[in-house]
């Protein structure tokens, strides 16, 4: 999977030179191509933005440098071009799972008051937002996006099966987890987890996942289809909650 990143601050992506993403690059499971937008300035000053038409405050990234940066990417026509913007579709696990089928991306990272709409209209395929808040730039969103997709690529995560139990992967939140020691501040690890009974452990994890989701994000149940067994356990949990 290849990530082509168009940015004003390439050094931000040094943050990806650690952990799973670094190992994935070494294994050539992902490729990161960082492009400095200032290299495509229309003048010698490195300027890539200008004042807004209409007289409002704030600078806007110009369309021409963005276009030239995009055209510099080999085979860019085969890539999905993404602009990170508050106006975009909310990034969630379902969208991540859909986009993991793509092999190449071009990530546009705006600054200031955004980018010229004419570039978006002609070259951007999808706009994505991390949520209903505003960041100082799109680069932080890009880093989140790259990490979210990369960890799903076969061979990136050492414990690949653990991904299947992550929050949101199946639409639910993950339940609590424990490690040594068995007793901490007088509180014991649930006995089922040290019983060695894998069937009962799986049932406990399923129940705790439903319980956590019910307690913290009950609206998620409106978006997923539960199995018959999950539905039965959820109804029992709901009845206890009512009582």
What is the rounded distance in angstroms from the CA atom of residue 97 to the CA atom of residue 95?
A: 5
Is position 236 annotated as part of the catalytic site? Answer: no
Average pLDDT, the chain: 92
Beta bridge pairs of residue 127:
83
Chain centroid to Cα 176, Å, comes to: 22
Is 166 one of the catalytic residues? yes
- pLDDT digits over 193-222, tens only? 999 999 999 999 999 999 999 999 999 999
How many other β-carbons are positioned within 10 Å of the β-carbon of residue 101?
Answer: 6
Q: Do domains 2-150 and 170-242 have the same CATH topology?
A: no
Residue 222 DSSP one-character state: G
Given a cut of 80, whether residue 168 has pLDDT beyond it is no
Q: Which one is catalytic: 64, 127, 166, 208? A: 166
C-alpha 195 chain-centroid distance = 36
Domain segments of the chain as ranges: 2-150, 170-242
Rounded to two decimals, the pTM is 0.85
Residue 137 β-bridge partners: 111
Q: What is the CATH number of domain 170-242?
A: 1.10.1270.20
pLDDT at 165 over 90: no
Q: Catalytic residue at 176? A: no
Q: How do residues 138-152 score in pLDDT, each as one tens digit?
A: 999 999 999 999 999
- Give the whole-angstrom CA distance, residue 86 versus residue 75: 28
Active-site pick, 113, 127, 203, 208 = 113
Catalytic residue among 11, 31, 39, 86: 86
Q: pLDDT tens, 30-44?
A: 999 999 999 999 888
Q: Per-residue DSSP letters for 75-113?
A: TGGGSEEEEEEEEEEEP-HHHHHHHTT-SEEEEE--BTT
Q: pLDDT-derived band of residue 240, with 50, 70 and 90 as boundaries?
A: confident
If you classify domain 2-150 with CATH, what class do you get? Answer: alpha beta
């Amino acid at each position: 999977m290849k990530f082509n990143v168009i940015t004003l601050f390439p050094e931000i992506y040094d943050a990806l030179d650690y952990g799973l993403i670094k190992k994935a690059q070494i294994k050539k499971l992902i490729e990161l191509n960082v492009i400095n937008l200032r290299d495509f300035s229309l003048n010698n000053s490195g300027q890539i933005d200008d004042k807004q038409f209409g007289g409002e405050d704030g600078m806007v990234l110009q369309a021409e440098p963005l276009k030239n940066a995009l055209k510099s990417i080999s085979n860019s026509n085969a890539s999905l071009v993404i602009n990170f913007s508050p106006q975009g579709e909310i990034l969630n696990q379902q969208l991540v799972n859909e986009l993991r089928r793509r092999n190449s991306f071009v990530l546009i990272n705006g600054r200031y008051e955004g980018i010229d709409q004419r570039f978006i209209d002609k070259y951007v395929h999808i706009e994505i937002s991390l949520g209903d808040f505003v960041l100082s730039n799109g680069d932080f969103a890009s880093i989140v996006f790259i990490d979210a997709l990369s960890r799903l690529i076969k061979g990136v995560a050492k414990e690949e099966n653990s991904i299947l139990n992550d929050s949101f992967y199946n639409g639910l939140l993950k339940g609590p987890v424990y490690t040594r020691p068995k007793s901490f501040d007088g509180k014991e690890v649930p006995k089922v987890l040290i019983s060695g009974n894998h069937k009962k452990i799986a049932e406990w994890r399923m129940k705790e996942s439903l319980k956590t989701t019910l307690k913290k994000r009950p609206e998620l149940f409106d978006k997923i289809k539960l199995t018959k067994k999950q539905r039965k356990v959820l109804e029992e949990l709901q009845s206890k909650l009512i009582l």
